[in-house]
């Protein structure tokens, strides 16, 4: 699969998606750590892609998103922004209801 197709598929399949360096539990950069922490504080599951494990995505996503840096938060296919925007929205209390709304529109599949 072409890298661009893979990116589009990830964004389409994951209503709450964070492209980051490392993982939420083991972030590899301070900005990714802050973004993941803010998202985890919202209390809903979210998908993530470790761009350090995916150099093709790391190279292509900034062009596709027209956003040069990581992390990148995507909600329902729309780029929200990077660390500064995520933290600012969280501190203003704007991120939590947004995540809540998206999570309600896309309930996680229940295990049997």
Name the strand (E) or helix (H) holding 27.
none
Q: Is 42 annotated as a binding residue?
A: no
Strand partners, 78: 75
Q: Is 58 annotated as a binding residue?
A: yes
Q: Is 50 annotated as a binding residue?
A: no
Q: Is 90 annotated as a binding residue?
A: no
Taking the C-alpha atoms of residue 73 and residue 19, their distance in angstroms, rounded to an integer, is 6
Q: What length does the chain have?
A: 112
Q: Is 105 annotated as a binding residue?
A: no
Q: Is 70 annotated as a binding residue?
A: yes
Taking the C-alpha atoms of residue 57 and residue 28, their distance in angstroms, rounded to an integer, is 16
Q: Are 32 and 39 in contact (CB under 8 A)?
A: no
Annotated binding site for [2Fe-2S] cluster: 29
Annotated binding site: 21, 29, 58, 70, 83-84
Annotated binding site for glutathione: 21, 58, 70, 83-84
């Amino acid at each position: 699969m072409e890298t661009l197709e893979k990116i589009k598929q990830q964004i389409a399949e994951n209503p709450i998606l964070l492209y980051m360096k490392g993982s939420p539990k083991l972030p590899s950069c301070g900005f990714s750590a802050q973004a993941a922490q803010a998202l985890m504080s919202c209390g809903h599951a979210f998908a993530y892609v470790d761009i350090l494990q995916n150099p093709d995505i790391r190279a292509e996503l900034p062009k596709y998103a027209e956003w040069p840096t990581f992390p990148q938060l995507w909600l329902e296919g729309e780029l929200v922004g990077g660390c500064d925007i995520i933290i600012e929205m969280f501190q203003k209390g704007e991120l939590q209801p947004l995540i809540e709304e998206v999570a309600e529109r896309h309930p996680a599949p229940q295990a049997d």
